[in-house]
Amino acid sequence: MLLRILGTAAGGGLPQWNCACPGCAGARRHPSRRRLHDGLAFHGTGTGAWFLVNATPDVAQQLESHADLRPGAGRDRTPVVRVVLTDAELDHTLGLLRLREAARIEVWCTQPVHKALTTRLPLTDVLSPYTELTWHDLPLTDAGPPVRLAGLEVSAVPLSDKRPRYAADEPAHPAWSTALKVRDPSTGTSALYAPALAGWSDHFGAAIARTDCVLLDGTFFDEEEPRRTGISQRTASEMGHLPIAGPEGTAERLRRLGAQVYYTHLNNTNPLVDPGAPQHEQLGGRGLRVAEERMVVSL
C-alpha cells in the first residue's frame, strides 16, 4: 500500500490565520515550514484506487496538489469520493462540505461520530441539495471483519470518549475518537493513524506492536505547552492529546517498539515546527520522526 500524507498540522494549521506566535511567524518567514491540516490518502497495491482519511478544511488544495488524486484517467470529474473518519472533530470533517461538487460522498465512521455529524452538525441535511452523502459503519478492530476499501482492510481501534467541543454534552462512548488501522492483505503490512491519543491503553499498545508504520498524535511536545503558551488553561493530556516528551509522554513508550513512527497533527505551539529546534534531537535518538508534508510511505 501507499500512504500519502496530505497534511500534518493540528486544527488551525501552520500558520494559523489569526496567530503570530513564534511557530506561525516562522512559517510565514519560511514557506517550507507551512503545514496543512492533518490528513492522509491510502492507495491499494497495484491499483489506482484511493480513499481519504479525514476531510480537512484544506481538502481541495490537498487533492489538487497530488497528481494521483486529481480527476483524470478518462473521466472529466471525480464522481465518488470515499472518506474514512477517525473522529468528528471540525479539523477532520469540515472538508466534507468542501467536497460537495462530487456526485457522491461515501463516509465510514463510528456510531457516535455518525450521530454527531447528522444531528449536532447536520451534514446530511446541509449537503443533500448538493450531493448524495452515504454513511457506512466503520467496524471496530477485533469486533468483526474490517471493511474493504481500495483493496485494503480498514477498521478502527477505539481510543477515547473525547468529543468535539460542539458535541461536548453528548453521552460518553469509547469510539468517539479512534485510531484507524489499515492492512494490505496482499503484503500483510499495516499502518495505524492516531491523530488524537488521549491515553495509552493496553489495547492501543497491542495494536501498535503489531503495526509496521504509525502516524501518531504529536500535537504538543510537553504537558505544560498549552498553558505556558497561553492557548488553554488545560494541560496537553486534559485537552485529549498525550504529549511527546516526559515520563508519561509517547516518546518514552514508543522506545520499546519496532514500528516506524512519525508524529503528525502538530500544533503551531509545538517547538518541533521549527526544523532547527533542539527538541528534534530528543526524537532522533529514539528513532522517532516528525511527519513531513507530502511524504509518501510505501508499505
Which parts of this chain interact with ligand MLT (CB under 6 A)?
10-11, 89-91, 165, 196, 239-240
Is residue 282 within 8 A of residue 276, CB to CB? The reply is no
CB of 197 to Mn ion, least distance (A): 11
CB of 145 to Mn ion, least distance (A): 29
90 binds, among ligand MLT, Mn ion, Zn ion, none (CB under 5 to 8 A by kind): ligand MLT
* Residue 42 CA: distances (Å) to CA of 3, 56, 67, 96, 123: 5, 15, 14, 17, 24
Q: With CA atoms as reference, report the closest residue to 155 among 144, 137, 139, 174.
A: 139
Mark residues 55-94: x for contact with Mn ion by CB under 5 A, - for none: ----------------------------------x-x---
Nearer to ligand MLT, 91 or 212 (CB): 91
User: Which cell is 5 given?
Assistant: 500524507
**SS3 of residue 172 by DSSP:** coil
Nearer to ligand MLT, 58 or 89 (CB): 89
DSSP letter assigned to residue 266: B
Nearer to ligand MLT, 55 or 152 (CB): 55
Nearer to Zn ion, 7 or 112 (CB): 7
- Does 225 sit near Mn ion (CB under 5 A)? no
CB of 55 to ligand MLT, least distance (A): 13
DSSP letter assigned to residue 237: G
Nearer to ligand MLT, 105 or 196 (CB): 196
Nearer to Zn ion, 178 or 268 (CB): 268
Listing DSSP states for 9-26 in one string gives B-TT-BS-TT--SHHHHH
Nearer to Mn ion, 193 or 212 (CB): 193
Task: Considering only the C-alpha atoms of the chain, give the largest distance between any 2 of them, rounded to a whole number of Å.
Answer: 54
19 binds, among ligand MLT, Zn ion, Mn ion, none (CB under 5 to 8 A by kind): Zn ion
CB of 196 to ligand MLT, least distance (A): 5
- Does 11 sit near Mn ion (CB under 5 A)? yes
230-241 burial by CB neighbour count: b if 16+ within 10 A, else e?
ebeeebbbebbb
CB of 13 to Zn ion, least distance (A): 9
State which of residues 93, 141, 268, 270 lies at the interface with Zn ion (CB under 5 A).
268
Nearest-angstrom CA–CA distance, 143 and 130: 35
CB of 238 to Zn ion, least distance (A): 20
Q: Which of residues 15-34 bind Zn ion (CB under 5 A)?
A: 16, 19, 21, 24
Backbone angles phi, psi at 192, to 5 degrees: -130, 135
160 binds, among Zn ion, Mn ion, ligand MLT, none (CB under 5 to 8 A by kind): none
**SS3 of residue 299 by DSSP:** coil
Nearest-angstrom CA–CA distance, 15 and 147: 36
Is residue 268 within 8 A of residue 16, CB to CB? The reply is yes
**SS3 of residue 158 by DSSP:** strand
Return left, alpha or beta for 246; rule: phi > 0 is left, psi -120 to 50 is alpha, else beta.
left
Residues near Mn ion (CB under 5 A) are 10-11, 89, 91
Residues near Zn ion (CB under 5 A) are 16, 19, 21, 24, 268
